[in-house]
Amino acid sequence: MESHEEKPIIYTMENKPIVTCAGDQTLFTALYSLLAQQLPREPMEWRRSYGRAPKMIHLEANFVQFKEDLLPKEGNKALLTFPFLHIYWTDCCDTETYKASVKEDMQRWQGALRLHGSTDWLVVVVESDGKKKNKTNILPRTSILDKIRNDFCNKQSDRCVTLLDPLKESSRSQESWNSFLTKLRTLLLMSFTKNLGRFEDDMRTLREKRTEPGWSFCDYFMVQEELAFVFEMLQQYEDALVQYDELDALFTQYVLNFGAGDGANWLGSFCQPVRSWTGLLLRRPIDMEKREVIQRGEASLLDLRSYLFSRQCTLLIFLQRPWEVTQRALDLLHTCVQELRLLEVSVLQGALDCWVFLSCLEVLHRIDGCCDRSQLEANFSHTVGLWTYATEKLKSLGYMCGLVSENGPSSEELNRTVDLLAGLGTERPETVNSLQSPYKKLKEALSSVEAFEKHYLELSHAALEMYRAIGRLRSGRLVGKSLAEFYMKKGDPHMAQTFLQDALKSYTAEGWSLPITHTRKQIAECHKQLQKTEEYLQTSALLASDDNLSDEERKHFCQEILNFASQDPEGKDQCVALSMAAFAQLRELHFTPSAATVHVGAALQLDLRLCSQMPVPVHLEQLACGVHYAQVRPAPAGSQRRPGLSPDGTVTFPAANPSRGPHAERRGPAAPALELQEIQDRSPSDNALNSAGVVCKNAHLLMRINDGPASLDPPSVAASAVAMEDGAEMLKASDVTLLPGNNSIIFSAPSLKAGSYTLRQLCATVGRVQFVLPHFYPIVQYDVYSQEPQLSIEPLTESLLAGLPQRVKFTILTGNYAVKKGDALQLSNTASMPILHSSACPARILSSTGELVGEASVSIQSSEKVTSISLPQTPPYHTLEFQLEVLCHIPSAPARAESERLTNGEVRHRPKNRTRYNSGMASIDQKVSIDCPWSIYSTLISLTFYTPFRAHHSLLSAGKRKYIQICLRNVSDTNFRLANQTLTERQSTPALQLLSLNAKTHQLVYSKQCVYSLWEMKWDAEPPPCLQCVFAASFSPADAPDTELKPYGYEFQLERVTTLYSVKAEIQPAVGEEHCRAGALCRLEVSVTRLTDPSEAEREDEEYGENEGLRTTKLMYEVVDNSSNWAVCGKSSGVVSMPVAAMATHKVQMEVMPLFAGKLPFPSIKVFKYLAHSAPPTTQPDADSCLENDNLSLLDKGLEDQGDTASLRSRGSVHSLGSGEQQPRGPPMPRLEPFSPGQVFNCSLARQVLVLPGTDDHVLEVNVT
């Protein structure tokens, strides 16, 4: 805009409420300026009808001289020329003057008001002190005022007021003046409210008649605009804007009804052809020309819309809402275009584009005139839509008038341009002096090709910069795409390519498939014109695979590629490498075998499933896959599963969308799909459909801006293709024809060297064109392994049982070794595990996949130290299997249990796979040394056998008679047949005899069950102090009765088996009672009797004393009741001196109390050896032996807790011989030592006594045992 251009003036309404002044005009003239200045200073509260909110307004008035012509005529309802208040001014102080002239003048004034029905008037009597001094016969001031009130204001006394010296500055005058202003504002507001309410009622009545014939919208328009003018006159711009909005909505509804078939008669005047398209006029507050046309009913649709919007624009500017003007302007322009179509108005081609273009620039010029540059830049989002719309319309005019074509406009287009310029008419006076007026711009743009290009580029780049400034990149790229089309028309594809690539970037990132297709077609044309062969072929491949195109178009672009491929190479341009993403897509790759792991030299096939995107069959000269070799040591097949490889050997490739371009996977996932929902607007009265539309439910996701730096150029794959050609390993398939859709190509993979092979690239060659897939995702690889021979021996059952023949399987994995004729396995023999064999046994030969290849036999020869197994010929990477029988002898000595401690004190742990199933079974480890023909080293293999039985013994006593009980437990899961159970003494003592008390010679031993055997010991002389016993039996599986019986032995040792003491107890009731009673004291008598004289061994081991010439030993007794049936009263333990002689007896008496009624077992009686401090400790009993009585245990509490005893009270004197703790330092202390099993016999162990309940018990408690 030029510097000398003047900005438009914002006009305001000059109209004010009219107030007429009659009477003394000289008096009024003197007060006019003061009155006009001070009237609007104080606001008044305006209360309106119909519940509308009150408002504070400042009242102004247009004071004019009273003329009868100003009074409204009958039928005239105009508010702008309506006098709202009539004032009569007088300063008469003389009664005679009042009667002579003033009264008559007021009567004429009142008569005129009554004649026209005006009741809003006021009489002002001005009184001054100057006139009082000049008049001596002046009556008091109330006399004239009273006269006037009596003559004219009988019922409205407030209509007559007095004003005291208004020109003086006294307080009395000021008070009178303020009172007058208040009265004037009140009366004026009352009159205004009353007449405005009446006008609104009449207007509503007129609007309700709109369905009657002859109703005119233009007439109603003028009436409601009158109301808007009144609100604007009161500076109530919001209310004034509401009136125009109501008129806008009413007219719009009539046009929509007309389009639906319900048209009004008055709409015919708006259907006349458009003769002028001068655009909006916003530089005047009121366009009186168009208003007069509307008032005459001759306005066109554009005239009415232009005038209505100009009034709305003026009020919005007054309300300081300029940015709402731009939004309303866009809505108006689109609405007018649609309304012209609905009304079927005849419009010259291009005329509407001219009107829209001029209107857009007029609105922008109007906004520019009321806002500064910073405000405009901060609100580009409100104005950029008008810039874009103006650009589109100017472009449309350029195409229409031939200003875009390379050859210039034709004669027909020139005539069209002349007609369009003629409809613009002459320039308006407001813009004549403006060099950048919309009129001049349009006229200049249509004058020449160069001027059009200048203005179009100027508008396009302005809109583009605004979109970029506000971050609306999508809209900016739409403008850029429009520019690209312009440049293509102008023959400049280089400039067009830049804008098209930006648009394609946005469409691809958001997944708009149809715009992508359209833009790629334009880009392909650019590449073709620029002779960019590689880019053109890549884009053609994308278009040939695009389903949005027709079959003819797809075949065209595919043929373009094939034509280039069939041409002879020229110069350095030997071949062109393109991306395979558009040509074909990988679906899946299937390995045979499925593990994708083979040994060296094995066959491996790759079945590649390829989906061709081309619309026609394409013949490939070669389909090659580059393979990268890595020299690693892969594991054999089945050892681990490769990620991405399914169990059936298939690798599935993710599906790609070719419309997103070759780099789609690097730009992230596609935008979400549209979620559209239909919306309908129905009438609440009859449910008729008013309008229908579509709304996007996930617009917040679709409208996210994703502008990453990803390039849309086709990938450079030429270097990759050359590198693949030079690779050492390749998979190739020649003369392959790819049909549209899925295809299967089979490759044979190289497997001559051990290592890992990774598929890197895929290249399809079509003449001079190579389609290259730069990498596979997920990673695809197969392994070729070279394995050393392996030998393993495995049991055929879950556990190997010792003592029985067991079958084991020999498995030889030949690996890279070929078993030749004469190769043999050399097994070292062991006495504890002989190998049971015949001269030959069958063998099986399996392939690497587990398939049976053949059967053979192995010959076995055995010598004293070595067993030789001759192997049949077996190829590499095969498996040789055969079975042998072995026997592990059960050792005669007790096998060490799994939980037994080692010599260093640590617990011996076995592997989990050995102890999990065989918990509780003793194990025997057998080592086998094998010499293999493929190794110079011996292979040591361990086999673990488990003893099926566990035996333990018990020594039982009956007085002096002794019995040995053997418990044999079957700890395996097999049932056995047991026979020939014997028990012998290793030293074969002649005086000792073991008499079997077993009736059965053959028995069945079920799994987890026990068999007991019993022998009685008889001797003629004193038995030896230590007996070595051997238990022997024969067994075989119960389910194989013909199997030879196998031996089982168990050895154990017994010491000091002779019974030394007999303990007997008696319980007597209280004196005078026949039976014991609960809660009553009873007498317990304990007798300890020596049964034998001391033997020689006993004399050496034990300590004796002298008492009255007799040899004695000290014993300690203890009476305890662990079942809480008895309460021991008094002392419960003590130390006695026992004569060492046969049948020597010692009796101890004490009192006990039964706590329950019933047959109660006797209390437990324990006897220990009491060793003085000088006695040496004896040897600890054998841990493998079994105590006869469980209650003969060491004392676990101090003697001081046992009542009054004759023994020591110190806790330290009671110490277990079996304790491994170090003896405390200090003086030696007495100790207790238990007797060996069988040395003490308790005659009262199982006895019971009858206890009756007490006589005073209310609750009877009976103990039943």
pLDDT in tens, 604-655: 999 999 999 999 999 999 999 999 988 887 766 655 667 788 888 899 998 7
Q: Residues 1035, 1005: contact at Cβ < 8 Å?
A: yes
H helix runs in 98-213, sequence order? 103-115, 129-134, 141-152, 171-208
pLDDT surpassing 50 at residue 1179: no
Report the distance separating Cα 490 and Cα 449, nearest Å: 11
Mean per-residue pLDDT, 977-997: 86
Q: Residues 857, 914: contact at Cβ < 8 Å?
A: no
Q: Residues 868, 860: contact at Cβ < 8 Å?
A: yes
Tokens of 240: 């004034």
Give the orientation angle of helix 351-370 with respect to helix 438-445, to 10 degrees.
Answer: 140
Mean pLDDT computed over every residue of the chain: 81
**Bigger pLDDT: 885 or 1211?**
885
Percent of the chain with pLDDT over 90: 27
**Bigger pLDDT: 395 or 863?**
395
Report the distance separating Cα 588 and Cα 604, nearest Å: 16
pLDDT surpassing 60 at residue 1249: yes
Amino acid symbol at 621 = E
Residue 553's pLDDT is what?
94
Q: Which of 1133, 1142, 1217, 1141 is nearest to 1167 (CA)?
A: 1133
Q: Which of 597, 592, 621, 595 is nearest to 608 (CA)?
A: 592
Q: Of 397-406, 741-750, 1178-1187, where does the model show the most confidence?
A: 741-750
Residue 1100's pLDDT is what?
62
Report the distance separating Cα 988 and Cα 1029, nearest Å: 10
Report the distance separating Cα 360 and Cα 1135, nearest Å: 128
- For residue 276, how many C-alpha atoms fall within 13 Å in the half-sphere facing its CB? 13
Q: Residues 157, 149: contact at Cβ < 8 Å?
A: yes
Supply the DSSP string of 1127-1182, one letter for each residue: EEES--EEEEEEESSTT-EEEEEEEEEE-SEEEEEPPEEEEEEEE-TTSPPPPPPP
Q: In what order do the strands lie in the sheet with 741-748?
A: 650-652, 584-592, 605-612, 741-748
Q: Residues 955, 962: contact at Cβ < 8 Å?
A: yes
Query: pLDDT of 145-192, one tens digit each?
Result: 777 877 777 677 778 888 887 888 788 888 888 888 888 888 888 888
Tokens of 428: 């308006």
Residue 1227: pLDDT band by 50, 70, 90 thresholds?
A: low
Q: Is 649 left (phi over 0), alpha (psi -120 to 50) or beta?
A: left
Report the distance separating Cα 981 and Cα 1050, nearest Å: 11
Report the distance separating Cα 373 and Cα 858, nearest Å: 104
pLDDT surpassing 70 at residue 505: yes
Q: Residues 1228, 1173: contact at Cβ < 8 Å?
A: yes
Counted residue by residue, the chain has a size of 1265
pLDDT surpassing 70 at residue 70: yes
pLDDT surpassing 70 at residue 1201: no
Report the distance separating Cα 530 and Cα 494, nearest Å: 7
Report the distance separating Cα 1079 and Cα 1125, nearest Å: 11
Element (H, E) at 90: strand 83-90
Work out the burial of residue 1219: count CB atoms within 10 Å of its CB; fewer than 13 is exposed, 13-18 middle, 19 or more buried. Answer: exposed
Q: Residues 1061, 1091: contact at Cβ < 8 Å?
A: yes
267 to 210, 263, 351: CA distances (angstroms): 12, 7, 21
- List all residues 6 or more positions away from 543 whose beta carbon is below 8 Å from its beta carbon: 517, 520, 521, 524, 549, 553, 554, 557
Element (H, E) at 977: strand 976-985
- List all residues 6 or more positions away from 198 whose beta carbon is below 8 Å from its beta carbon: none
pLDDT surpassing 70 at residue 1076: yes
Residue 39: pLDDT band by 50, 70, 90 thresholds?
A: confident
pLDDT surpassing 70 at residue 9: no
Mean per-residue pLDDT, 882-899: 70
Only one residue has tokens 């072995």, namely 886
Question: Hey, what's the torsion of the CAs at 676, 677, 678, 682, to 10 degrees?
Answer: -150
DSSP state of 932: -
Residue 715's pLDDT is what?
45
Query: pLDDT of 783-840, one tens digit each?
Result: 988 888 989 999 988 888 888 888 899 999 988 888 998 889 988 888 888 888 777 8
Amino acid symbol at 544 = A
Report the distance separating Cα 846 and Cα 843, nearest Å: 10
Residue 1204's pLDDT is what?
38
Tokens of 679: 């919306």
Q: In sequence order, what are the beta bridge partners of 770?
A: 577, 765
Tokens of 782: 């197969």
Only one residue has tokens 């005329």, namely 351
pLDDT surpassing 80 at residue 1058: yes
SS3 percent helix, strand, coil of the chain, rounded to 5, is 30, 30, 40
Element (H, E) at 554: helix 551-566
Q: Is 1236 left (phi over 0), alpha (psi -120 to 50) or beta?
A: beta
Q: In sequence order, what are the beta bridge partners of 628?
A: 758
> Which of 220-229, 246-255, 655-664 shows the lowest mean pLDDT across its residues?
655-664
b/e 989-1014 (16+ beta carbons within 10 angstroms → b):
eeebebeeeeeeeebebeeeeebebe
> Which of 374-378, 1019-1023, 1167-1171 shows the lowest mean pLDDT across its residues?
1019-1023
